Structure 1
Amino acid sequence: METKTQTIVIGAGPAGLTAAYELAQKTAHSVSVFEASPDIGGIAKTVRHNGNRIDIGGHRFFSKNDSIMQWWNNVMPLQGAPSIDDILLHNNKELVSGGPDPEKTDRVMLLRRRVSRIYYLKKFFDYPVSLKPETLRNMGFSKTMKAGFGYLRACLCKRKENSLEDFYINRFGKPLYKMFFENYTEKVWGVHPSKLGADWGSQRVKGLSLTAIVKDIVTKPFKKRSVDQKEVETSLIEQFIYPKYGPGHLWETVADDVRKKGGEVYTACPVKKINVQGRKVVSVVVEDENGQREAPCDYLLSSMPLKDLIAALSGIDIDGEVKEIAANLPYRDFITVGLLLDKLLIKNKTKLKTWNGLIPDTWIYVQEPDVKVGRLQVFNNWSPYMVNDFKDKVWIGMEYFCNEGDDLWNMQDEAFIAFAVDELAKIGIIDKKDVRDAVRIKVKKAYPSYFGTYYQLDKVTGFLNGIDNLYCIGRNGQHRYNNMDHSMLTAIEAVKHITGESNDKSAIWQVNTEQEYHERKSK
């Protein structure tokens, strides 16, 4: 019998499972995935609680890369004509005309309407900030004038972009930055925007600016709206696809497909040591309920945090500076509180039709400076199948950003939930007596941060690239705050290199560094 190439993948998140799925199609390859946690999906997992489901962080399935959109469709089809005008409102369950009926199948994507707004001064503002009359009324004459002149000044006097603060001021002007970006960014990262690299803005909001928003307003009436929104800045898209039971539903399906094709996916099975001989990884040591065992490999794809990867390497000399840089790479940790409510106090005053007058938002960015909550998700609006009783109950997620070991992280669950409920009541979003159920979920290393030793990351990546059969993929695998589609693309590029379809290993690290790469490559 022909000996198969043994490939090990560390991590069962989007990057790891994409790599495993691609390799499982190749008859000459045998693939094993080792996931440290008991869950599938990484940060894109779906958490179940008393019949309701939580999406950790909110995952819109949208990409400007055709291959990724097709990849998702191959796993969970969205059929029919995907136009907003073709969506039928059926008991608040948005179905696509001509597509599969979610009532009859689980393996299906829904077409969702994206509404994200900012909650500031106990009023709603569009996100990104629009120039609608409502926005100007909510800001008031004085703030509107300051914002206008501030933007003009920013257009005439560009700052050198040494920080994220410079990045935002150049695109929106200082008054708008102060109102809508400064406090929120510090709430998310725990660091003032002046201390964060402009790299973050370059990756996450590349084409977003006040100019882009004005252009979108002017040209929108002349555009045909469809699921294909390549020409639209990602922050301005109006719709996206979404798995019936949340993002974890798709990644659990991918894991099942990998197993069906002969691959192995192990959970609660962390990699404890990576053995290197010469310039190659030869095996990994994993730990499960039966103890530790060694698994040999010809290739290793890693989506584990870089600081943990460096610490796990054995049999290779690692420069002390590389060790120190990796050990001190900064991360931001994450807490979600799921709340089941009879109702929200805030009402739908938009023109968008919703079930029982519920607000239409998927996300709400909380800009109020006197609370620590950063964002709210309304799971009824992501998918009604996320909520056990979507007609009579509202299921929301409160998102907090923290550091492992700080006061928020160390607070007991019951005390934290009471704290969170008090915050929402304080800013007028809920009445505490309407809370029917609650759960708290903590996630370590949710967001790689762009400060500290991040600026010496090239020394770590240079060292790792010297290990011939090691491939770093995904958000934590590259310490890069990628969207889900970009994490998947790093995996796809790695598989191409392993199978000989590409001879450029550097392409793995180029994903989401060149705007041309992911916005135009598919054309």
Structure 2
Amino acid sequence: MSATDKKQKQAVIAGAGPAGLTGAYELLKHTDIHPVVFEESGEIGGISRTVRYHGNRMDIGGHRFFSKSQRVTDWWDEIMPLQGAPSLDDKLLHTTDKTFAANGPDPEQCDRVMLVRNRISRIFYLHKFFDYPISLKWQTFANMGLVRTIEAGCGYLWSVFFKKPETSLENFYINRFGKPLYRMFFEDYTEKVWGVHPSKLGADWGAQRVKGLSIFAILKDMLKKSFSKKENIKEVETSLIEQFVYPKLGPGQLWETVADEVRQRGGEVITETPVKEIHVENNRVTSVTVENAQGERREVPCDYLLSSLPLKDLVQSIRGIEVPDEVKRIAGDLPYRDFITVGLLMKRLTIDNQTRIKTFANRIPDTWIYIQERDVRIGRLQVFNNWSPYLVKNYENTVWIGLEYFCTEGDAFWQMDDRAFIDMAVGELAKIGIIDPADVLDSVRIKVKKAYPSYFGSYYELDRVKEFLNGIENLWCIGRNGQHRYNNMDHSMMTAMVAVDHIAAGNTDKSAVWSVNTEEEYHESK
């Protein structure tokens, strides 16, 4: 039999999120393996999708496209080039061209390009705005007041000389900021996000997400900017970046484009068809069973399986070999945090722009606002107009915002009726003085399962699950849920890239894939 007569190898990819679609694209680009992507939902992009509602678009969770990995940056540019000429959004944000703004950009006619965006995120605490990350500007101290400022300074100095053992996320933050600043800006917000007190969370999360951020890092960054106007991305702590790129129609536009590219290159992307069973023989995946929207099941053979399934679902799906009870228990008990966004279309916000940044109609410039007020449950507020004006149907006359809540599937928040939840969310924003309920024009509620893998409970026994899964030679665990790691989008992409590199080289060692985002250098997209 000639080489041309050999049957083409096939890779099944579970999940059409950033990791799964990156894996499919990389396989087509660097190998002759045929990828078939199966996605449970009817959407492309996973948590990085863009939700459409009545002509407006929502970015679920907010996604900044920024990475210190040149490979990832080049990959984005290959799929969706950076806009070189002045873009329509710049005209909307920085002019008062009534004709242009009233007509608005037609999203369907937009080129598939990235926009350069200014990163503006602030903390809302004591009904005042603080820079995020916390800056050492006069306004910060004025907002805190004399007593809090003295307490914060003394607390930080104490933390410099008396370090705590980093056995918890609480101690991790105290070591870098001191106890008073930790209590003001980290304690309550962290508990909102994870549902448990930071003293019960492992320091792993902090080491991964804000590993280089501290008062010292902020001071160092301020001094560098004082003497140099040019920013070296490789040297900037990720949490201190000032710009990022962003698809005109939100992150989902990029992943929808990738899915189209995969299909055009001969791959398959099939939605509303989850992987239900994974069949293993002689420590190799031989096929998977999938189920379509009509409930019909079929078996699909494969030479490789790239899985971004939540590990608890992956382990539960394995057939043909005995899964140790310990592995089942650990995977089954892995904790997750779920997510709810309320989209509100507003006539206006009741807070004005008091920064020096020029904005359209003097609106606040923030993409994200971290809500630190203790008497409300909302965690973050997105202003979609500021991510991209193309997300808003009527940019000139409306403000499109997203209220973000963290919960656990099945709890009271998750089970609450949509209308009751929206009314509660509107009431919270009104309570802290950000909106007037009379200005709400439209609303929607979106729920996302398993948005955030959590770092407590059986997470600390995860190595036993990894050891078992690594024994299945042609199974590659990729992405946020595929590794139960709170990866940003570029990390998820990199797990797929490294997996494909190994497949192409015939290397079955999984350690490099699992080690993505454990290195010192940190990459950020969100």
TM-score by length of 2: 0.94
Cα distance change of structure 1 residues 405 and 175 upon mapping to structure 2, 3 Å threshold? same
Work out whether residues 93 and 384 of structure 1, in 8 Å CA contact, stay in contact via their aligned partners in 2.
Answer: no
Q: Distance in 2 between matches of 1:252 and 1:465?
A: 31
1:222 and 2:211 correspond: no
1:511 touches 1:518 (CA, 8 Å); kept in 2? no
Q: Distance in 2 between matches of 1:483 and 1:412?
A: 31
Equivalent-residue separation in structure 2 for 1:289 and 1:469 (angstroms): 28
Please give the alpha-carbon distance, in whole angstroms, between the structure 2 residues aligned to 1:354 and 1:517. Answer: 31
1:440 to partner: Cα distance: 0.1
What are the superposed Cα offsets for residues 328-353 of structure 1, whole Å, 9 maximum, x if unpaired?
00000000000000000111000001
CA offset digits 1:305-350 (Å, max 9, x no partner)? 0000000000111111110000000000000000000000111000
In the alignment, structure 1 residue 300 sits paired with structure 2 residue 305: yes
2:60 to 56, 59, 79: 56
Partners in 2 of 1:204 and 1:281 — Cα distance?
33
Instruction: Give matches, 1:244-259, under 5 Å.
Output: 244-259=248-263
Cα 1:63–1:502, aligned 2, differ >3 Å: closer, same or farther? farther
Change (3 A) 1:116 1:137: same
Per-residue Cα deviation, 1:117-172 (whole angstroms, up to 9, x for no partner):
00001000000111111100000000000000100000000110000001000000
Shift of 1:223: 3.0
Letter of the 2:342 counterpart? V
* Cα distance, 1:106 vs structure 2: 2.7
- Alpha-carbon distance in structure 1 between the residues aligned to 2:422 and 2:488: 29
2:246 is aligned with 1:242 = yes
Superposed displacement of residue 289, structure 1: 2.8
Deviation (angstroms), 1:5: 1.0
Q: Aligned equivalents of 1:289 and 1:87: distance in 2?
A: 40
CA deviation after TM superposition for structure 1 residue 25, in Å: 1.8
- Asked if the contact 2:38/2:269 (under 8 Å) is kept, the reply is yes
The corresponding residue for 1:90 is 91
Distance between the aligned counterparts of 1:64 and 1:147, measured in 2? 32
Letter aligned with residue 301 of structure 2: P
1:80-138 deviation line (CA, Å, top 9, x unaligned): 499xxx999312279xxxxxx99964310000011000000100000011111110000
- In the superposition, relative to structure 1, how do residues 449 and 279 fare at CA in structure 2: closer, same or farther (>3 Å)? same
Give the deviation of 1:2 after TM superposition.
Answer: 3.5
Q: Is the 8 A contact 2:122 2:370 kept in 1?
A: yes
Residue 319 of structure 2 is matched in structure 1 by 314
| 1:179-190 equivalence runs, <5 A | 179-190=184-195
Contact 1:93–1:383 (CA under 8 A) maintained in structure 2:
no
Equivalent residue for 2:460, pick from 455, 463, 483? 455
Unaligned residue ranges in structure 2 (runs of 5+): 96-105
1:23 to 19, 22, 27: 27
Q: Deviations over 1:203-259 (max 9, x none)?
A: 000100011011111211333346x62211111100100000000010000000000
Aligned to 1:73, what secondary structure does the other structure show? Answer: helix
SS in 2 for 1:33: strand
After superposing the two structures, state which structure 1 stretch, 184-193 or 228-237, moved more.
228-237
Partner of 2:364: 359
Per-residue CA distance 1:432-483 (angstroms, 9 max, x = gap) = 0000000000000000000000000000000000000000000000000011
1:97 corresponds in structure 2 to none
For 1:150 and 1:501, the matched residues in 2 are separated by: 53
8 Å contact from structure 1 (residues 92, 355) kept in 2: yes
Q: Map residues 111-122 of structure 1 onto 2, 5 A cutoff.
A: 111-122=116-127
Structure 2 match to 1:231: 235
SS at structure 2 position matched to 1:325: helix
Partner residue in 2 for 1:5: 9
Match of 2:212 among 180, 184, 207: 207
Aligned position for 1:37:
41
Residues 516, 363 of structure 1: CA spacing in aligned structure 2 closer, same or farther, 3 A cutoff? Answer: closer
AA in 2 matched with 1:145: I
* Residue 283, structure 1, aligned to residue 287, structure 2: yes
Structure 1 counterpart of 2:261, one-letter code: D
Q: What's the secondary structure of 1:32's corresponding residue?
A: strand
Cα separation, 2, equivalents of 1:54 and 1:8 = 30
Cα displacement string for residues 63-95 of structure 1 (whole angstroms, at most 9, x for unaligned residues)? 00000000000000015499xxx999312279x
Q: 2:503 matched to which residue of 1?
A: 498
Count residues with an aligned counterpart. 509
Residues 1:104 and 1:419: Cα distance change in structure 2 (over 3 Å): closer
CA distance in 2, matches of 1:351, 1:195: 40
Aligned with 1:77 (options 71, 76, 81): 81
- The one-character-per-residue Cα deviations of 1:477-497 (angstroms, maximum 9, x if unpaired) are 000001110110000000011
Secondary structure of 1:170's counterpart equals helix
* 1:411–1:88 Cα change, 3 Å: closer
Q: Percent identical across equivalent pairs?
A: 65
Within the alignment, does 1:65 sit opposite 2:66 as a pair? no
The question of 1:174 aligning with 2:179 is answered yes
Q: Decide whether aligned partners of structure 1 residues 509 and 137 sit closer, same or farther in structure 2, where only a CA change above 3 A counts.
A: same
Q: Is the 8 A contact 2:238 2:523 kept in 1?
A: no
Q: What are the Cα deviations for residues 363-389 of structure 1, in whole angstroms up to 9, with x where unaligned?
A: 000000000000000000000000001
Matches of 2:279 and 2:500 in 1, distance apart? Answer: 21
Instruction: Provide the TM-score with structure 1 as the length reference.
Output: 0.95
2:268 corresponds, among 264, 267, 291, to 264
Per-residue CA deviations over 1:24-63 (Å, capped at 9, x if unaligned) read 2246211100011111000000000000000000000000
CA distance in 2, matches of 1:90, 1:103: 18
The more displaced of 445-454 and 21-30 is 21-30
**1:98 alignment partner in structure 2:** none
Matched-pair contact (CA < 8 Å) for 1:187–1:401: yes
Q: Is the 8 A contact 1:146 1:175 kept in 2?
A: yes
Aligned-partner SS, 1:154: helix
Tell me which residue corresponds to 1:474: 479
Residue pair 1:276, 1:316 contacting (<8 A) in 2 also: yes
Shift of the 516–396 alpha-carbon distance from structure 1 to 2, 3 Å rule, reads closer
Deviation (angstroms), 1:517: 7.9
Partner of residue 397 from structure 1, selected from 377, 402, 407 = 402
Runs of 4+ with deviation above 4 angstroms: 101-104, 501-504, 516-519
Instruction: Judge conservation of contact 1:39–1:267 (CA < 8 Å) in 2.
Output: yes
> Of residues 481, 487, 493 in structure 1, which corresponds to 2:492?
487
